[in-house]
Amino acid sequence: MNQVSDAENPITQLARLMEQFNLEEGELARDGVKVRFARRKKQTLAAAAPVIAGQTHEDESEDLAAEQDESEAKEPAGPGTPILSPMTGIYYVSSGPNAPPYVKVGSHFEAGEVIGLIEAMKVFNEVTATEAGTVVKISAETAKVINQGDPILYYKPE
């Protein structure tokens, strides 16, 4: 069987791209063979709450509920409705370095209008609005990696 060096190995290249762009999944098809990569989800352990002598589990639940109510009251209501990234990749606010941005704060957009691009695996994917609105805040930075589910921008629906 013909061996290919790691530098030329398409599986290694795909694995490096997944790492570089923090992608969760990748797929390679060649000569009738398909290889699919998927990252394992990292498990996180919840920190245990300290137990105070004489305190019951019911007391702990009430304390936690009170802390959650307080933290929710402190958080602002948010700047508007988010448009979330549909994938992980590099976000671009315009079609090129000298092109005007698709949207900026205060811009009005229509449903189906392009609001940005995400480059993933050397393919540029248009991100479109699902409804009309006005941009309130842009969260994503151009030419920076954005993860699936991260807010690209916030808008006020119209």
The CATH number of the domain holding residue 86 is 2.40.50.100
DSSP string covering 13-45, please? HHHHHHHHTT-SEEEEEETTEEEEEEPPPPP-P
Is position 58 within any domain? no
Q: Is 142 in the same domain as 88?
A: yes
Residue 61 placed within a domain: no
Provide the residue-wise pLDDT of the chain in tens; the chain has 158 residues.
455 455 567 767 777 776 777 677 777 677 777 666 666 544 444 444 444 445 444 444 455 455 455 444 444 456 899 999 999 999 999 999 999 999 999 999 999 999 999 999 999 999 999 999 999 999 999 999 999 999 999 999 98
Domain range for 152 is 81-157
Number of domains in the chain: 2
Q: Are 36 and 94 found together in one domain?
A: no
In this structure, the number of other CB atoms found within 10 A of the CB of residue 4 comes to 11
Q: Are residues 87 and 34 in the same domain?
A: no
- Residue 121, in any domain of the structure: yes
Residue 36 and residue 85 share a domain: no
Assigned domain for 110 exists: yes
